[in-house]
A and B are shown apart, each in its own frame.
Chain A
Amino acid sequence: MIAYTIQRLLLAIPTLFVISLLSFVLIQLPPGDFLSSYAATLAALGEQLSGDTLALLRESYGLDQPIYVQYYKWITGIVTRGDFGLSLEWKQPVKALLWERMGLTIALTLSTLLFTWLLAIPIGIYSATHQYSPLDYVFTTIGFIGLGVPGFMLALVVMWIAFIYFGADVGGLFSDQYKNAPWSLGRVWDLLQHLWVPMLILGMEGAAGLIRTMRANLLDELHKPYVTAARARGLDETVLTYEYPVQVALNPFISTLGWALPGLVNGGTIISVTLSLPTAGPLLLRALQSQDMYLAGAFILLLGSLTIVGTLISDLLLAWIDPRIRLTH
């Protein structure tokens, strides 16, 4: 197990490196460097940036140096000092904007993950043990709709219904009085009261897929000879279901955790724009639109790292639960 853990950890490092490289390339992709677009924005506002200032700024950001030096400066700043550069649009360090939003993103992602599991596992078990019952059909139909309806459509429709019938605006994660307040117990409570709407919308898609997987896995398992043998020996039906088949069927849940996370981050990005949540999504979108590239790069780097770490954890969990995996490595 230890050997496998070390091996897996070592494999994650190059992956993180590639992610950082990719984020950096994405930052550099737009034509012209960000200073020229900054100067253009200023010019549009009527301010002029003198050539000297521009050259000075260029030097302090290392923009006159070759690209690998720039990358080196950028990544060492992040790794050693936690310095993600400067957001030009907000005129403050990126890290000041970053962490609260990333924290809320992670909170939303993890709570949604938990929610999908809590929803999908019991429903999956029920659907498999009561195959072709009316409720099974209901769940299957809901599942297909959840798979087919894009998250932002669902978000729009939920907002629309809430607006028309309850007169409530379900967007955002905080009430007005807590929006810019410092963290306190009251603010956390407020967050929890708002979190469930995006959680429900975001969880719908994932839960739909998981219900189908759970149902299919358990159905496969329930028809195996050992279940019949146990039943023939008069074992209680509840014990019979939960003791072995359910545990075996749960295996793919952990192995697909690594894919579930990118999906959740994907969905979360779009839904948070639709519902205007104070998570990474809307700010990333704005940063990309205004070519505030250090900010955008930081978000892409962190969102990518989030999924890679998630995959790593799921691999380790899987190896811990299933000895076959750690032994073949």
Chain B
Amino acid sequence: MWSYILKRLLTAIPTIFLVLLIVFTLIRLIPGDPAELMLYELDDPAVVQQMREELGLDKPIPVQFFIWLGNLATGDLGVSIRTQEPVLPALLERFSVTATLVFLAVSMAVMIAVPAGMIAASKQNSRTDFAIVLVAILKLSLPSFWVGLMLLLFFGVYLQWLPTVGYVELSTDFGLGVLYLIMPVISLALTEIAVLTRMMRSGTLEVLRLEYVTHARAKGLSEAAVLSRHVFKNAFAPALTMLGLVMASLLGGAAVTETVFSLPGIGKLVVDSIYARDYPMLQGALLLIAGVYVVVNLLVDLLYGFFDPRVTLK
């Protein structure tokens, strides 16, 4: 297994390099000059040029790329053009917010969607099945920003049970941190619950038709035992693939949820950095996101072995 992990990590290096090269070039091809955006309409061209030189933007793009790579090798991701903060600590701080949010939301989604999908499948075409499918479709049809705003209005504005702005790290004050996370986690989880439920239902239906399930039932096992012992693992494998993709995608930025709940996460940071043409921050963030994709997909591949013994890692 260790050789498999090493091989996967090594093959990820050229992928990440390619992603960075494309991103580095493309963001510089977008019209809009960071120096002008910073200085707006107040400055004379000499000042703008001075700013470009300070930011290293006067050099050819390949030179800028290799300078950045050289600095990266020493762990220096540069300083944000927009806020002057060092990129690496800023990224780690923002990523921890997003990671907390996503981990909680995905955990919640899994805990609700897996049993819901399996129950719906085991009672196919019953009222329970229709109800679960209906709720899933309904949740899938609601845009997450709308759900977020509705939560904000209901729990924040009308009931005033939950704070509408701010964020407190769970490590600083767990109770207060939870209060700040309730609405964003629910908002983010709802869509994922809907997707996962449908995935889990169809996976379970397929497995339920297999002969070994019939055999298990013939042995006299209860339906609950059949589902938990014999169906769950096989039905969950396809959902796991999707879960990995969803997790990686959300870790790369749950920008809408972060914006609605003013959470200082990495998605919001990426959006702000694009608008400000904050190249160092954007490059650092995309490097981190590419790395997250690699790691999450690797973890998913490793987990396949647990859920499906037929899968071997070489």
- Do A and B associate with each other? no
